[in-house]
Structure 1
Amino acid sequence: MTDAVRARRVVPARVRIMGWMLLLMAIVLVTVTLVTRTFLMQRIDADVTSALEQEAGELSRVARGGVDRATQQPFRDVRELLFNHLQRQHPDDDEVIVGWVAPGEVLAQDRSEPFRLATRPDVLDPILASDAPSGAADTDAGELRWIKVEVTGPVGDRGAFVVGYLVDRDRAEIDDTIQTLVVVSAAGLVVAALVAWLVAGRILAPVRLVRRAAAEITERDLTQRIPIAGRDDIAALASQFNSMLDRLEQAFGTQRRFVDDASHELRTPITIVRGHLELMGDDPAERAAVVRLCTDELDRMGRIVADLLMLAKAERPDFVRPEPVEVAELTGDLYAKCRALGDRDWRLASIGECTARLDPQRVTQAVVQLAQNAVQHTTAGDEIQVGSSCHDGQVTFWITDHGAGVPEPDRETIFGRFARGSTGGAAGHRAGAGLGLAIVHAIAEAHGGTVRLTSPEGGGATFSLDLPGAAP
């Protein structure tokens, strides 16, 4: 399956949100409907059973008393008892009441009944013959729930009182109620779908803005930003996305400047080498001078490339490999290496007494670069101090010179790539590529530290490398 086919089958987030909301609501509504119907059906069964038991209980009490409540005379037989009791009953519209006197006389009320049980021996006879006191029977008018009370008269004659209840009409009313509930639920789902669509669209609006902004972003246009409204998670996402764009814009700008500066720095020695080679004559002395000049420019190109590679490695997590180092011993080594850089009055100002966790090779590279920078901005015999100190869990290495110092405008940019300060020092001093202090800054950051510059107005400069991880 190709990526294009997969892309066409992707369901939008707005549709998925609406679908899940509708599915949840549908499950809830179906559950409520089924539970409601079950509860109502059980309620009907309980009400019918209660009504039948009430009718049967009334007859049982009358039979135990054996006295006609109107005349206060005892019943002569079962027929009189059942007939008298039937005339006093006022059943519901769905109730059916009959009396039966052995051997086969059926007594009924003179009223319009929903089902004439007295004239339906096919239904009544099985009820009378049943040993169970209650049950259910199928009739033309629906299910008939019945209860039977057998009665024995004063002269030993027998009879029975049967009360029935047709439950289908009540069940039909419940079904109509459930149908209405289903229709209302379906309408509610339609309204909920519309609301879910609108709400999902409102919630996902910032996400769509993020997507459109991301689609419009190119290396040449990183100015797109997302408007932030509210304080919810979507607003936080938009804020983080804008912050990411700020970092990307800054990174791309730095990269473009870096590439432009690197191209310029590498183009210059190439132009010099090519120009001298094109104009080189046959004179051996001239050829030797051109070769020396070309070699010098190629060496400078090599140093620029090496510095660029060093700065590229600074982005890797294994750029520094810290280990426990005695600061006093490392300071002595640094002083010895710095003295070989030039004819200056080198002084070991102080030595820190502690153990620090750092990369001694990278720290040596940074301090030597600072010392080389001091040599380039001083003359022969000028004093340069090298020192270290330990305090508050931090170790500091510094180089102090008494040259021309660093002008105020250069102090903010001097640690950037290809940034050059105003040159001082010996006549004919040639500025480097402007990568040395950038490398020092990268080494300090890789250790979790900083590099500081202090340059008083009277001249001179102190570069300090502050690194954490010092222990007494």
Structure 2
Amino acid sequence: MTTTTAARAPTTTGRTTAAPDPTADPGRRRVSARVRILLWLLLVMALALAAVAMTTRSFLLRDVDNRINRLLTQETGEFANFEERGGDPRTGRPFTDADRLLTVFLERQYPDADEELMGLVGRPGAGPRQIRQPHDLPVALPLHKDPAARRHVFDSSESSGVLQRPRGEIRWAKVTVAQPGRAPDAAFVVAFHPERERARVDSVFHTLLVISGAALLLTVGIAWGVAGRILAPVRVVRAAAAQLTEQDLTRRIPVHGHDDIAALAETFNGMLDRLERAFAAQREFVDDAGHELRTPITIVRGHLELMGDDPAEREETVRLVTDELDRMSRIVEDLLLLAKAERPDFVSPEPVQVAELTADVYVKARTLGERDWQLAEVADLAAELDPQRITQAMVQLAQNAVQHTITGQTIRIGSRAEGTDLELYVADSGPGVQPQDAEVIFERFRRGTARRGTRGSGAGLGLAIVKAIAEGHRGRVRLHGTPGGGATFALVLHTPRAPEGDSP
């Protein structure tokens, strides 16, 4: 179609230099993600293990209290039952003397190691006399050696309680012995010293703390290695990002596995692919633009330097210079248009009657040259598209067809629906497009072999603009031969159909 320009070599690359590490900050030391993960893990695990140890200690202490309460209840219940139903082994009759009742009962009991069983006989307000078993207790101050504590228990109106002493707590319960016709002057007392039970609980608690600490250290060591393996791809990403430069975007990250880290590496590699293509396109675009603009500038400068004083020569020079400046202006406008094609507002779709749009394009194209213009067919439907951009693309295709046909040759313009797609086309009857040119003529500043063996006058941006407009409508440009000879260029648009009656 449009004339060929040999592809120029890409910009020469200089020596690759590593980019500065974006994470380097000489004024502030950074804590690595690995250390932060481990610190959080250490904190959470320490809190969890401490909570487990404290909860276990609480349960064990509650079990100790429950066991003591059951023991006190059991002992007092046994004494009450013995008092009610028991008999003196000497007489075989019920007990009538409190001392004898307490002595016989205590002789038959086997207390626990931290338990005291005793009888207290006396008058309230006076120090009671005690009856006890010969039983040694591994406590600092047992009840039978503490007169003040015995008096407090004997005088208490409660049947059970807790006595707090500087030398150890006592949990106690008692059963008063009723004497016929007078106030009770005797009592059976059960006293329990919980220090050793609680000491065992504390020992278990301390053991749990030691085990938890060892487990915490072991877990942190394992987590350090695991975190290192998990974060290794992240460090590779960081190192790759630090080594990237505008001249070298070829580095990629190896992807292993199918987890989130692998997805991150794939995403980063995809980003690098896009950056590499963008930089390559930018370099090629700048090279091509500089090449295309250099020619008219050279022509203008050469004519101005050689311009003499002859009025006819000056007039011819001005005409040539003006023509080159106009061509430069068209190139700049096309470049600006292509740059705008990267923006999301490049096209502004609206409901359009395709038949009316096709007819308008046909009327405008007829003024481009003396050709046999034909309106082949029209699609009678409404679609969401940008009428100005579509008109611009179709007129460009029509202009391209005029350049590659001669006076009187046929150029057909039309539109049709193909399934869910909309196709707007321009078909000429010229020499057609060479197969080797079909893939390159839509690139910027690339022109295929002229179909009449000559070079076109354009800069090679027209078909690139057509392609950008089609892609802005989520479509494409399709090229195929025209039956009987020639080329057909079609915009195949994936545009939503507008509801009937919405179009202007």
- Range into which the TM-score falls when normalised by the shorter chain: over 0.9
What one-letter code is carried by the residue in structure 1 that aligns with 2:161?
Answer: G
Matched, 1:92 2:112: yes
Question: What letter is aligned with 1:109?
Answer: Q
1:395/1:470 contact within 8 Å kept: no
Distance 1:368 1:291 in 2: 30
Shift of 1:73: 4.7
SS at match of 2:203: helix
Q: Which has the bigger relative contact order, CA under 8 A and spacing at least 6?
A: 2
Q: 1:314 aligns with which of 341, 358, 367?
A: 341
- Which residue of structure 1 aligns with residue 408 of structure 2? 381
SS in structure 2 at match of 1:268: helix
Q: Relative to structure 1, is the Cα distance of residues 6 and 353 closer, same or farther in structure 2, using a 3 angstrom cutoff?
A: farther
CA 1:362–1:54: 2 relative to 1, 3 Å? same
* 1:401 has 2:421 as partner: no
Paired position in structure 2 for 1:301: 328
What letter is aligned with 2:392? Q
Counterpart check, 1:109 vs 2:133: yes
> Can you list the C-alpha shifts for 1:198-233, whole angstroms capped at 9, x where unaligned?
222222221121121112111111111111111111
AA of the residue aligned to 1:280: M
Report the residue type matching 2:135 in the other structure: R
User: Does the 8 Å contact 2:443/2:463 carry over to 1?
Assistant: yes
Shift of 1:15: 2.1
Change (3 A) 1:270 1:116: closer
- 1:396-440 CA distance string (max 9 Å, x none): 221111212111111111111111011133x86534110000000
| Contact preservation (8 Å) 1:136, 1:143 | yes
Over 3 Å counting, the alpha-carbon distance change for 1:27 and 1:305 in structure 2 is same
Q: Secondary structure at the match of 1:424?
A: coil
CA contact (8 A) 2:447 2:460 kept: yes
Does the alignment pair 1:204 with 2:204? no
Query: Given the alignment, which residue of 420, 434, 444 partners 2:470?
Result: 444
Cα displacement (A) at 1:75: 3.4
* Aligned length in residues: 469
Distance 1:111 1:317 in 2: 96
The residue that corresponds to 1:219 in the other structure is 246
1:192 aligns with 2:242: no
Give how far 1:69 is off. 5.1
Aligned positions of 1:135-154 closer than 5 A: 135-139=161-165, 141-152=167-178
Partners of 1:287 and 1:449 lie apart in 2 by 49
1:261 aligns with one of 276, 281, 288: 288
The aligned residue for residue 356 of structure 2 is: 329
Q: 1:210 to 1:134 in 2, by over 3 A?
A: same
Q: Distance in 1 between matches of 2:86 and 2:185?
A: 14
Q: Which of 119-128 and 66-75 deviates more? A: 66-75
Residue of structure 1 equivalent to 2:15: none
Q: Counterpart of 2:134 in structure 1: which amino acid?
A: D
Alignment of 1:154-173 (within 5 A): 158-173=185-200
Q: 1:6 to 1:44 in 2, by over 3 A?
A: farther
Is 1:123 the counterpart of 2:135? The answer is: no
Q: 2:368 is paired with a residue of what secondary structure? A: coil
Provide the aligned C-alpha RMSD in A: 2.3
Aligned to 2:10: none
Alpha-carbon distance, 1:391 to partner: 4.1
Question: In structure 2, what is the Cα distance between the partners aligned to 1:195 and 1:7?
Answer: 32
Residues 326-348 of structure 1 show CA distances to partners (whole Å, capped at 9, x for unaligned) of 22222222122111111222222
Q: TM-score, normalised by structure 2?
A: 0.87
TM-score, normalization by structure 1 = 0.93
| Kept after mapping to 2: 8 A contact 1:78/1:154 | no
SS for the counterpart of 1:8 is coil
Structure 1 gaps, min length 5: none
Q: Which residue of 1 aligns with 2:59?
A: 39
Partner of 1:142: helix, strand, or coil?
Answer: coil
How far, CA to CA, are the matches of 1:264 and 1:416 in structure 2?
A: 15
Distance 1:354 1:112 in 2: 109
5+ unaligned residues in a row in structure 2: which ranges? 1-22
Identity of aligned residues (%): 54
